[in-house]
Structure 1
Amino acid sequence: MILVTGATGTVGSEVLRLLARRGAPLRAMTRNRLPSVEAGVEVVHADYEDPEALRRAAAGVESVFLLTAPGAWVPAHDLAMINAARAGGVRKVVKLSAIRGRLPAGDGNAMPANWHAPGEQALADSGLAWTVLRPSAFASNTLRWAGSIRAGQPVPNMTGTGGQGVVDPRDVAEVAVEALLGAEHDGTAYTLTGPELVSVPDQVAQLAELLGRPIGTVDVPPDQAREQMLAGGFDPSVVDVAVHGFRLVRDGGNAVVTDDVHRLLGRPARSFRTWARDHRDAFLDADETARAAEPSHTG
């Protein structure tokens, strides 16, 4: 039995789908009702703040995919699940962390990864088998731009021309499945990136090419981004980490590309262009959506 936490999220839902396809016995953990459930998947409702619910979720489980929502609460939530896993006799935990996740917590440049470092250390000290996945920025983060692009408005650019090894979350999920189903990745941390560095202007240019129309960008300096996020009701701790991350990327601090996805999956990592092509419909405006739905007529 494999327990998948964060089962309604971008990565968690894909992990669940891929494991179901492989025929693995599955339990999906969520705080909310799942919109749909693969046949044979057991659903358990639990919260990281409820130790008893976590123990029930982990009972009889062989492996856990550990995904915690970003925020200052990540260390406590990681530790709660690790403790439940140990109490329940779980053999292995695969934790979704973040790129640069093991830099010292006192290093100011490591701030975006500070949330995950305690959980990584707790796993290493737990006596459980473990694998840590440290993905770069997700290609799917650009879905935040979809409303602006559909409305013909410019995309806000918080990171300037800074490049990142943007990774397709489907690749992250595939790696997680391999780690959950095999022992050869035990005791290893992987940094998961796409095949090349891409910046926000690069991503916008590729989307514009796919859509066949221009898309603009507007630079949003870090201090302005902070004001906008706070005004939008974001938790201040989340804002602090996000703004530090924006500065880090602007300064080239996340210009990292690895071949870990290629080595683990036996194929090249998907590019941002591939992700964008597969999700093109999310960025279509109303007229483009209507045209796409029209039946084609051939002579």
Structure 2
Amino acid sequence: MITVIGATGNVGRPLVAGLVARGARPRILTRDPGRARLVPGAETVIGDLDAPRCADALLAGADAAFVVTAGPDAAAHDRKIAAAVARHGVRRVVKVTSVAALPPVHDSYGAAHAAAEDAYLATGAHCTFLRPAAFMSNTLQWSWSVTGSSTVFQPFGDLPQAVVDPADVAEVALRVLDAPGAGGCAYTVTGPESLTPRQRAQRLAAALGRSLTFVDAPPEQARRAMTDVGLPPAYVDGLLASQSDPDPARGALPLPTVRDLTGHPPRTFTAWLAAHVDLFR
């Protein structure tokens, strides 16, 4: 049995669908009973990782676990999940971290992801880490300003990333979970081309058929916007430091990982836009 933590997210949803299509009945976690309807065919645990026994309920009897955690609480959640992996003798773990975890780590955001990898390795499970470049779905953060004022606000507008479709990360994870002998290492997962945020905004404008204004927002403005919605300042500082890292090894160089592990080329940003452009109208 496979436990999927993060099953209703951009990577987890297509992964669960793929597992169910292969005849598996994964166990998933959701805090919202209504969202369980989004993943028919799965065994659903209603709960929250902040609850004392939630991780145990998810991992008891599991042979493998797929884990995505996000946000300021991710580090604490990963410690709880890893401890439960060890207690229940889960044999395989596939964990999504970040290119920020590539050594040498330069910021607190990358350090948190690297610490999560260490925590899972310490369980004795056969661990595979997927370190994606920036997700194409992060572009949805622009929807409010695109629909409201035809403007994109984004810091570090000229730093490229080989943005990756979350569906490709899900398919890589599925291939690793399908083959018990595979994995056991860390994979950097990228899309097929390196694009700056400014270039992605130009692609979005073309898909919408209208012009957009791109504002290369100062980091201080981006920091204020994130802390104003309640994100902890220390978390925001680490995230911005990670986003400003110019090292091309941290997701800027397109790699063959998706093709090598799935047999098909990674999906393009243009294709992702075609599937999601109505969300920006």
Q: Same fold (TM over 0.5)?
A: yes
Counterpart-to-counterpart distance in 2, 1:204 and 1:135: 21
SS in 2 for 1:131: strand
Offset from partner CA, 1:179-205 (integer Å, 9 cap, x none): 122123231110001011101111111
CA contact (8 A) 2:85 2:123 kept: no
Aligned match of 1:290: none
1:234 aligns with 2:235: no
Counterpart-to-counterpart distance in 2, 1:74 and 1:240: 16
Greater shift after overlay, 144-153 or 269-278? 144-153
Q: Percent identity?
A: 38
Counterpart-to-counterpart distance in 2, 1:178 and 1:195: 19
CA contact (8 A) 2:168 2:258 kept: yes
Aligned match of 2:221: 224
Counterpart-to-counterpart distance in 2, 1:138 and 1:226: 20
Aligned match of 1:33: 33
Q: How far off its partner does 1:139 sit?
A: 0.3
Aligned match of 2:280: 283
Taking a change above 3 Å as real, the CA distance of residues 170 and 26 of structure 1, as seen in their structure-2 partners, is same
Q: How far off its partner does 1:11 sit?
A: 1.2
Q: How far off its partner does 1:112 sit?
A: 2.8
1:143 aligns with 2:128: no
- CA radius of gyration, larger in: 1
Aligned match of 1:86: 86
Taking a change above 3 Å as real, the CA distance of residues 184 and 100 of structure 1, as seen in their structure-2 partners, is farther
Equivalent residues, number:
279
SS in 1 for 2:50: coil
Whichever residue aligns with residue 8 of structure 1, its letter is T
Aligned match of 1:130: 127
Aligned match of 2:17: 17
CA contact (8 A) 2:133 2:161 kept: yes
Counterpart-to-counterpart distance in 1, 2:206 and 2:85: 47
Q: How far off its partner does 1:34 sit?
A: 4.3
CA contact (8 A) 2:133 2:188 kept: yes
1:199 aligns with 2:188: no
Give TM-score scaled by structure 2 length.
0.92
Counterpart-to-counterpart distance in 2, 1:172 and 1:228: 29
CA contact (8 A) 1:4 1:16 kept: yes
Taking a change above 3 Å as real, the CA distance of residues 247 and 44 of structure 1, as seen in their structure-2 partners, is same
Whichever residue aligns with residue 45 of structure 2, its letter is V
Whichever residue aligns with residue 68 of structure 1, its letter is T
1:91-170 pair list within 5 angstroms: 91-104=91-104, 107=105, 109-170=106-167
Aligned match of 2:64: 63
Aligned match of 1:265: 262
Taking a change above 3 Å as real, the CA distance of residues 110 and 239 of structure 1, as seen in their structure-2 partners, is closer
CA contact (8 A) 1:3 1:63 kept: yes
SS in 1 for 2:3: strand
Greater shift after overlay, 59-68 or 251-260? 251-260
Counterpart-to-counterpart distance in 2, 1:161 and 1:241: 19
SS in 2 for 1:162: coil
Give TM-score scaled by structure 1 length.
0.87
Counterpart-to-counterpart distance in 2, 1:211 and 1:33: 35
Counterpart-to-counterpart distance in 2, 1:40 and 1:267: 27
Whichever residue aligns with residue 52 of structure 1, its letter is R
Q: Runs of 5+ in structure 2 lacking a partner? A: none
Counterpart-to-counterpart distance in 2, 1:169 and 1:98: 13
Whichever residue aligns with residue 215 of structure 1, its letter is L
Counterpart-to-counterpart distance in 2, 1:257 and 1:150: 31
1:172 aligns with 2:169: yes
CA contact (8 A) 1:102 1:120 kept: no
Q: How far off its partner does 1:111 sit?
A: 3.3
Q: How far off its partner does 1:253 sit?
A: 7.2
Greater shift after overlay, 168-177 or 180-189? 180-189
Q: How far off its partner does 1:80 sit?
A: 1.3
